[in-house]
Structure 1
Amino acid sequence: MCCLLLFGNVFSPTIAQAWGGRGHHVICSSAVHLVQNENLRRFLQGRPHTMGHLCNIPDIYWKSLPPSVSRSGDPAHFLDPEVLGLKVKNIPLDYAKIEKDFLGRDNRFKPAAKIFSVADDFGSLWWRADQFFRLITGRKDAFAAAKTPQNRKEEQDDKLPYNQEVYAMMVNMGLMGHFVGDAAQPLHNTADYDGYASGHGGLHSYFEEAVVSAAPANLESRVYEEARRIRKAPWLKPGPPLERLRAFSAESEAELPQLLGKDPIKRKSEARVEKGMAIKTPAERHDPSIGWKRYERMITGDMARASRFLAALWDDAYAAAGKPDLSGYRSYRYPFTPDFVPLDYLTPASGETSKAQ
C-alpha cells in the first residue's frame, strides 16, 4: 500500500500519538499508585480513571480542535534532535537560546532545508511537560488562601476557589502525564519518527498502537510492578524538571537501535520524491501479536519508566505547591474536555509553524 504526500518532504513530522489511548491510560493510572506522599496518593487513588482520561486529552480531544488551535500544540509531542545535529544529552534547556542559535540554520536531518520554525521543526516536548509542572506549583499562594467547603452546597460549587484550585491541579497533573509518556516513547525522540529514513516506514503506529493493543489484559499490573522496582535513575534525583526530562529522553533515544532491530518486517519501506510528491510505501510487517512478543519487554519497561517518573513529578509538584489539603474536595465535576492550554514558552518566531507557510 502506498501513500502520496503532495509537495512535502518525505520525512516531515506528522501528528503522532505516543502509546495510543491504552498506553497513555496505563501509564497514568499506574502512576496513581506510585505516588509517595500519602495525602496526594489517597486523593489520586480514587481517580485512576480520571487521570487516565486526562492523560489522553492532548491526543483524543485537543488534536480534534480547529487547525488554528491544534497546529501550535502538535509539535509539543516530540523532539527531533537530529534537526539540530545534536544528541539528546547535548540539547540546551533554554528554549529561547535554541530558537536564537538555530533559527534559519541548516536542517541537519533534511538535505538542503533550513530551520524555518524551531517549534515546528524541532519540537518542544520537555518544555510542554514542564509548563504543566509550573502551572501546578504556581498556584501555591492561591491554594493557601482557599478555604475548604463548609457544607454540601459549597462542596458542589464549581466557583468556590478551593474547588477550582483542586480541579486545576488534578487536570494539570493529568495533562503533564501525557507528555511524560511521550518522552518515554523512543520514536518521539527522533526526527525519523516513523522509520522511513531507515526502511522501517510505518513503525510508529505499529509499535505504539497496534502492538500495545495486542498486549494481554494484565498490562497495567505488569507496568505497575516493574515501575515500583525502579529505585535509582538520574531522572529520579531532585532537580529542575527540564534537566530530569532530558536525562529521561536520553534513555529513550538509546533504545532506538534496539527498537529498529526488533521490527518484524517482511519487506522494507520505500520513500522517494517524484515531481514534488513524496511517495511512501510502508514496510510490510508480521501481525501485531508477533510484534508484542518482540517488543514486550521494551514496551513494558518504557511504560514503567514513564509511570515511575510521572509519580515522582506529581510528588514534587504537590510539595512545591505547599502540600495543600485535598481531603475537602467532594465535587462531581469531571474533566471531559479541558480547554486547550496555549504554549507559554515560545517566542513569536519559534511559534510560527512551517506547516502553515
Structure 2
Amino acid sequence: MLKLVLPLLLASSTAFAWGGRGHDAICRAAVFLVKEEGLKEYLRNKPQMMGHLCNIPDFYWKSLGGDAAKHGNAAHFIDIEVIGLKVADIPSDYKKIVTDYTGKENKFKNDGTTIKDIPTEFGSAWWRADQFVTRIAALNKDFAAAKPPTNFKEEQDENLPYNKLAYQMVVDMGLMGHFVGDISQPFHTTADYDGWAAGHGGIHSYFEDSVVGEFDGDLDWLVLKEARALKNPSFLKPATVVDRMKALSIISNTEIPKILKMDPVTKPSVLKKEHGMEIKTRAERKPASVAFKKMKPVIVTDMARGALLLANLWDEAYSKAGRPKIGAYKSYKYPFTVEFVMPDYYSIPNEVKTKEK
C-alpha cells in the first residue's frame, strides 16, 4: 500500500475539484441555463470554449508555479474548520476574516498552531468568483463608449475595441466558472479535503475523478437535466455573489458525511505524525465502478447546483456590464492559455503585483 511522507505543515489542498471532466460538464451545462437573451445568443455556440476556460485555473495556472501558485491555488477552496466557524457564520467581508483570525489558533489542527496566512490556509473561493463578476461589471463604461462591429471585416477584427471587450468578458466568465464549480464539490468546503481525519484518505480524487470517470457520454445532459429540475433553490436567493457562494457551500458541506458513508472502504487510511512529518497510508477501497452506483445521483446533483449558480452569476455579470451585444463579435480567436489573474480582495506585496503584470 502506498505511503506518503509529507511535511507536517503542508499547505492546504491543491487537488483538482471535479477533475477536468467535471468542470467541463458544469460549464457546458451553464451555457444552456443562462436567461439573458443577448448572452444566450453568444454562448449557445461556445459550450466547448467555456468548458475549456473553466479548466484553465487547474490545468494551466497551476503549472505556472511561483506567485501564481502561492496566490492562486488557495483560491479554489474554503477550509472552514481552520477558523472554527460554521459555514453560515463565516463573515462575507474577507478583509475582516484576515484581520480577525490571522495569528489565532488553527482550530482544525487543534495543536496550538496559529494561522499565519488566511489566504493560503483558509482559502477564498467565494471571493474569487466575486472578483470575476466585478471585473466584468467594470467593463460597462468601456462597452458604452465602444462601437459594435457593423460588417464582416469588423466582426472578425480581434483588435476592434468592442471585440476586445467582448473577448475579455467571455474569458472572465469562463474563469469564474471554475471557482463556482469548486464550491459545488463538497470536499472543497472542508479542511479535511482528502478524508485523512475521517479514515478515508484518498477520497478527494476518488470521488471527483475516478468515480466521475465512470459516467457514460451523457454526463453533460444529466447535469443540465437535473439543473432544470431544481426549482427556486435557496442558494440563488442571497443578494450578493459572496453570499450565494456561501449558501451553496452550506449545502455542499452538509453532504460530506453522506458521501463518506458511500465510500466503499475495505481498510481505513492511517495518518501518523512523527518528528514533524506526516506518514500517510491511503485507505483501501473497492473500484470506482462499485461506488458509482451509489454516488452517481449525488455527483449529478452537486454539479447541477454548480451549473445553475454559474449561469445565475453569468447573467448578473452580463447585466451589470450593460447587456452588450457580444453576439456581434464573431472572431475565431480561442483562449488556449490565459494570463494569471491575481486575487484583488486581500493585500499582496507590490513587488508581486508588478512582477505579475
TM-score, with length taken from structure 2: 0.95
Aligned partner letter, 2:287: D
Contact 2:28/2:50, CA 8 A, preserved across alignment: yes
Aligned partner letter, 1:127: W
CA–CA distance in structure 1, aligned partners of residues 123 and 161 of structure 2: 35
Aligned partner letter, 1:254: T
What is residue 234 of structure 1 aligned with on the other side?
234
Aligned partner letter, 1:17: F
Structure 1 runs of 4+ with >4 Å offset: none
How many residues end up aligned between the 2 structures?
A: 350
Identify unmatched segments of 5+ residues in structure 2.
353-357
CA–CA distance in structure 1, aligned partners of residues 151 and 164 of structure 2: 16
CA–CA distance in structure 2, aligned partners of residues 134 and 68 of structure 1: 22
What is residue 70 of structure 1 aligned with on the other side?
69
* 1:346 correspondence with 2:323: no
What is residue 23 of structure 1 aligned with on the other side?
22
Identity %: 50
Aligned partner letter, 2:62: K
CA–CA distance in structure 2, aligned partners of residues 83 and 135 of structure 1: 29
Task: Please give the per-residue CA displacement for 1:117-158, whole angstroms capped at 9, x wherever unaligned.
Answer: 000110001000110111111111111111112333322322
Aligned partner letter, 1:57: I
Residue 226 of structure 1: CA displacement? 0.7
What is residue 173 of structure 1 aligned with on the other side?
173
CA–CA distance in structure 2, aligned partners of residues 156 and 222 of structure 1: 35
Decide which moves more: 151-160 or 103-112.
151-160
What is residue 99 of structure 2 aligned with on the other side?
100
CA–CA distance in structure 2, aligned partners of residues 342 and 281 of structure 1: 36
CA–CA distance in structure 2, aligned partners of residues 6 and 55 of structure 1: 30
Contact 2:183/2:249, CA 8 A, preserved across alignment: yes
CA–CA distance in structure 2, aligned partners of residues 205 and 343 of structure 1: 26
Contact 1:2/1:279, CA 8 A, preserved across alignment: no
What is residue 36 of structure 1 aligned with on the other side?
35
* 1:13 correspondence with 2:12: yes
What is residue 355 of structure 2 aligned with on the other side?
none
Contact 1:27/1:306, CA 8 A, preserved across alignment: yes
Aligned partner letter, 2:58: D
SS in 1 for 2:328: coil
Residue 6 of structure 1: CA displacement? 4.0
Aligned partner letter, 1:96: K
Decide which moves more: 212-221 or 26-35.
212-221
1:1-357 equivalences in 2 (<5 Å): 1-9=1-9, 12-110=11-109, 111-237=111-237, 239-348=239-348
Identify unmatched segments of 5+ residues in structure 1.
353-357
Task: Please give the per-residue CA displacement for 1:168-192, whole angstroms capped at 9, x wherever unaligned.
Answer: 1100111111000001011000000
Decide which moves more: 173-182 or 148-157.
148-157
What is residue 355 of structure 1 aligned with on the other side?
none
Task: Please give the per-residue CA displacement for 1:25-49, whole angstroms capped at 9, x wherever unaligned.
Answer: 0000011011112221111010000
CA–CA distance in structure 1, aligned partners of residues 342 and 300 of structure 2: 32
SS in 2 for 1:14: coil
CA–CA distance in structure 1, aligned partners of residues 24 and 7 of structure 2: 36
Task: Please give the per-residue CA displacement for 1:218-249, whole angstroms capped at 9, x wherever unaligned.
Answer: 11111111101112122222611111111111
Aligned partner letter, 1:80: D
Task: Please give the per-residue CA displacement for 1:57-110, whole angstroms capped at 9, x wherever unaligned.
Answer: 000110011223222100000001100001111000111100000000000011
Aligned partner letter, 1:195: G
CA–CA distance in structure 2, aligned partners of residues 221 and 212 of structure 1: 14
CA–CA distance in structure 2, aligned partners of residues 326 and 121 of structure 1: 39
Contact 2:156/2:329, CA 8 A, preserved across alignment: no
Residue 320 of structure 1: CA displacement? 1.3
CA–CA distance in structure 2, aligned partners of residues 152 and 70 of structure 1: 41
Aligned partner letter, 1:50: M
Aligned partner letter, 1:104: G
CA–CA distance in structure 1, aligned partners of residues 72 and 286 of structure 2: 33
Aligned partner letter, 2:108: F
CA–CA distance in structure 1, aligned partners of residues 7 and 304 of structure 2: 40
Decide which moves more: 37-46 or 147-156.
147-156
Contact 1:155/1:330, CA 8 A, preserved across alignment: yes
CA–CA distance in structure 2, aligned partners of residues 14 and 244 of structure 1: 23
CA–CA distance in structure 1, aligned partners of residues 243 and 45 of structure 2: 31
SS in 2 for 1:313: helix
CA–CA distance in structure 2, aligned partners of residues 6 and 290 of structure 1: 30
Task: Please give the per-residue CA displacement for 1:204-223, whole angstroms capped at 9, x wherever unaligned.
Answer: 00000000011122111111
Contact 1:4/1:277, CA 8 A, preserved across alignment: no
CA–CA distance in structure 1, aligned partners of residues 327 and 21 of structure 2: 30
TM-score, with length taken from structure 1: 0.95
Contact 1:63/1:74, CA 8 A, preserved across alignment: yes
